[in-house]
Amino acid sequence: MTKVLFIDDGIEFDAVIARQKPTGGAETAFVSLVEELAKLNMEVVVYNNCLNQGIVNNVMWKKLNRNILNEKFDCLVVNRGDKFLNFRKDCKKRIFWIHNPAKYLLKFRYLSKLFLNNFQIIFSSNYHKTTYPFWIPGKKIVIPYGVDINVKVKKKNKPPPSSAIFTSNPLRELEWILDRWRLDIHPLNKNLKLNIYSGSSTYGKFGEKHFKNSEIILDKAKTLKSFGVNVFRPLKRNQLFNKIKESRVFLYKGTKDETFCMAAAEAQVLGVPCVVCNYGSMQERIRDNQTGFVCENDQEFSKKTIKLLNDDDIWMRMHSNLIKNNNHLKWSKVAKIWQKIMK
């Protein structure tokens, strides 16, 4: 049996937290992958800043401390940070899983370790891979996140009421969406609703420390109730999925730093068309004019949002396309791709 050691020295999370509280996309991906690898008869041990130690779904979660020095394993997966890139050089099967644009790897503390170790570097999209300078060593592999939805999704007979939804980090251009909604979209139909499920609690202590500016944006959103804007606290995944399913359109601008966008992917798998802008990996999540719209500017974003909210025929066509093929893999298939590079 192949033993895989995962190391993450970032924010607090674990399999229990992921099921009980709102969780970020990268943390959701991490938990999903290790559990699917365990189903493939691999021994999986995780060392991170977990609050809940022990075995969950055949994955051993351990608090990151000096006990890691005693571990014996066949494959090492370092998640995001650089502190453990030099760990146990005798292990030849070394994987570095990154989630953000790769420009941060140009710092000396990363470069020095990447040049001294032979890593396979995992990117979550083709766009993500382009952010990695060609001259930095390492075998570059694109493995997208999986998307698992534990709620029943079936084709609707008619469109849902005209409501839009936003479920990402407020700092991911929510203020821009509020401006489009207030200035361009809502004035054309005063019955439209924009429901926001967002907040810093999704990111735990890290969110409270680094994303206080998000509260300023959410406070602005709360002043727009007369424009049909409703602000709700973040929800656990299955609760949030049901809210997305009830929505007519998922709104998200995107940024040049968008390497995957789990929020948009989940909306697509749930059968909800998306309106986004052409930044980062958004073209890999949304098939333009088939499962949503990928827009080039502010005016087009507002225009296409209004179209999806008002045109039943276009909505039904895109919804049907998503039910037939949402363009995303399940984690069970993604884990098999990982398994091949681990052996």
Each domain of the chain, given as residue ranges in start order, spans 3-146+330-342, 163-324
The CATH T-level fold of domain 163-324 is Rossmann fold (3.40.50)
Task: Please report the pLDDT score of residue 206 as a whole number.
Answer: 52
Yes or no: say if 308 and 249 are a contact pair by the CB < 8 Å rule: yes
Instruction: Give the model confidence (pLDDT) of 28-75 as tens digits.
Output: 999 999 999 999 999 999 999 999 999 999 999 999 999 999 999 999
Residue 126 neighbours by CB under 8 Å, 6+ apart: 142, 281, 284
Residue 8 neighbours by CB under 8 Å, 6+ apart: 30, 46, 47, 48, 49, 64, 79, 80, 81
Instruction: Give the model confidence (pLDDT) of 101-146 as tens digits.
Output: 999 999 999 999 999 999 999 999 999 999 999 999 999 999 999 9
> Nearest 5°: CA angle at 325, between 321 and 331?
145
Yes or no: say if 146 and 32 are a contact pair by the CB < 8 Å rule: yes
Which of 55, 73, 68, 69 lies closest to 14, judged by CA?
55
Whether this model's pTM surpasses 0.85: yes
How is residue 47 written in tokens? Answer: 């060392």
Which of 290, 287, 292, 237 lies closest to 263, judged by CA?
237
Yes or no: say if 334 and 145 are a contact pair by the CB < 8 Å rule: yes
- Average pLDDT over the chain reads 94
Of 3.40.50.2000, 1.10.3470.10, 3.40.50.300, 3.90.1150.10, the CATH number of 3-146+330-342 is 3.40.50.2000
Task: Please report the pLDDT score of residue 112 as a whole number.
Answer: 95
Yes or no: say if 159 and 132 are a contact pair by the CB < 8 Å rule: no
Spatial separation of the C-alpha atoms in residues 185 and 182, rounded to whole Å = 6
How is residue 15 written in tokens? Answer: 């399999």
Q: Cβ of 197: how many Cβ atoms within 10 Å?
A: 21
Does 163-324 match 3-146+330-342 at the fold level? Answer: yes
pLDDT band of 209, cuts 50, 70, 90: low
Which of 329, 328, 324, 318 lies closest to 273, judged by CA?
318
Task: Please report the pLDDT score of residue 59 as a whole number.
Answer: 98
Task: Please report the pLDDT score of residue 163 as a whole number.
Answer: 97
Instruction: Give the model confidence (pLDDT) of 253-269 as tens digits.
Output: 999 999 999 999 999 99
Find the mean pLDDT for residues 234-242. Answer: 91
pLDDT band of 150, cuts 50, 70, 90: confident
What is the side-by-side order of every strand in the sheet holding 59-63? 54-56, 59-63, 43-48, 3-8, 75-79, 93-97, 120-123, 139-142
Spatial separation of the C-alpha atoms in residues 131 and 126, rounded to whole Å = 9
